[in-house]
Amino acid sequence: MSRAGPVVILVAALFALWYAAAVPMNIREALTAAEREGVAVQPVTALERRDANALGLVLANPGQIPDAWAQDRPRLPAPHQVAGELWLSVVMEEVEGRRGLLRSGSLSNRGLLLHAWITLSATALGFVIGAVAGIALAIGIVHSKTMEKSVMPWAIVSQTVPIVALAPMIVVVLYSVGLQGLLPKAIISAYLSFFPVVVGMVKGLRAPDAMQTDLMRTWDASGWQVLTRLRLPASMPYLFASMKIAVAAALVGAIVGELPVQGGGLGARMLAGSYYGQTAQIWAALLLAAALAAVLVAMIGGAQRLALRRMGGAA
C-alpha cells in the first residue's frame, strides 16, 4: 500500500505528541518523587515548585523527564503505560488472575474483557431497539403529515436534553417498574441511536423523485407496495450511513447508562478509575471503547457493502 508510509508517520507523530504532553503534565509528581529519593531538583522547595510554570520545571530538570513517563498515578499516562494496563487487564488477568478465564472458566470482573462484553451487549440491544424504532418512526413520518408534525419536533427536542442528566432518571423510573440490568442501559443507548436513523430514513424514504412515485401510481400500486418495492430499497444508502452514526451513539449511551447503574461495563470501569485516581485504567477503558466503536462501525460498513453488492453493485 502506497499510503502506509504517511499513515505510519502520522500515527508516530500523534504518539510523539502524547509523550511530549505527558512530560509537563506529570513533572511535578516526578520531581516530588525524585526529591524524596534524595535527588537534587530545581527549585528546591515544593512551595516554589507549586507556583512555577510546568514547562519551566521541565527545562530546569531535564534529568527527570523519563520519570514523568513512569509515575504510578500520572495525570496523563504515557502510551506505554496505557498499553501496559491494557495488557494486564485484558490478557494477564484472564491468564494468571485468580478469577481469570483460565482458573475460573469465566471472564474476570477485574479484567476489561468482561466489562467490554457488558457494554457491548447493552450497545447491541440498544442499537437494535433504536434502529427498529427509528425506521418505524421514519415510515410513520413519511406516510402521515400528523406524525411528521407531532413526532419530529419531539424527536429533535429529545436530543437536546443532556443524556447524563436523563440517564439516572431513566434508570430510576425503569427500576420502579421492575426493570433492571441490561434493559435500562439498552434503552438509554436506544434513546441516543434512534435519532440519526429517523433523520436518515426520512430523507432516504423520500429519496425517490416524483417520476418514480408517479410511475407507481400508473400501476395502481398500494402504499405497502410503494414502501417495500420503491421507498425502502431506495433508502438503503441512507440507512447504512445513519446506522454508522447510530451504533457509535449507542455505545456512548451504554457507557453513560453504566455510570448510575454500577453493574459493571466500561463506563463503570472509567468511573472506578476516576474514584481511585487510576488514570491508566480510565485510559485503557477509553481506548477499548474507541476500538469497540471502530469495530462496530466497520461491521455496519461491511453489511453495507454486502447489501449494496446484492442490490446491483452500482451504488
Partner 1 sequence: MMNAPIPQTAISARGVDLTFETADGPVHALKGVDLDIAKGEFVSFIGPSGCGKTTFLRVVAALEQPTAGEVSVNGMSPDEARRARAYGYVFQAAGLYPWRTIGGNIALPLEIMGFPKAERTRRVREVLELVELGGFEKKYPWQLSGGMQQRASIARALAFDADILLMDEPFGALDEIVRDRLNEELLRLWAATGKTTLFVTHSIPEAVYLSTKIVVMSPRPGRISDVIDSPLPRERPLDIRDGPEFIEIAHRVREGLRAGHEEV
User: Which residues make up the interface to partner 1 (CB under 8 A)?
Assistant: 211-212, 214-221, 225, 229-230, 233-234, 236, 311-315
For partner 1, the closer of residues 80 and 229 by Cβ is 229
Residue 228 CB, nearest approach to partner 1 (Å) = 10
Comparing CB distances to partner 1, the nearer of 224 and 275 is: 224
- Residue closer to partner 1 by CB (options 106, 225) is 225
Give min distance, CB of 300 to partner 1, in A: 19
Q: Closest approach of Cβ 216 to partner 1, in Å?
A: 8
**Is the distance from CB of 268 to CB of 281 less than 8 angstroms?**
no
Using the minimum distance from each CB to partner 1, give the nearer residue, 107 or 230: 230
- 149: left (phi > 0), else alpha (psi -120 to 50), else beta? alpha
115: left (phi over 0), alpha (psi -120 to 50) or beta: alpha
CA dihedral 107, 110, 112, 115 (to 10 degrees): 70
Least distance CB 55 / partner 1 (angstroms):
59
Of 47 and 314, nearer to partner 1 (C-beta) is 314
Task: Tell the smallest beta-carbon distance from residue 191 to partner 1 (Å).
Answer: 32
Return d(Cα 127, Cα 246) in angstroms, integer. Answer: 7
Q: How far is the CB of 215 from partner 1 (least distance, A)?
A: 6
Nearer to partner 1, 22 or 216 (CB): 216
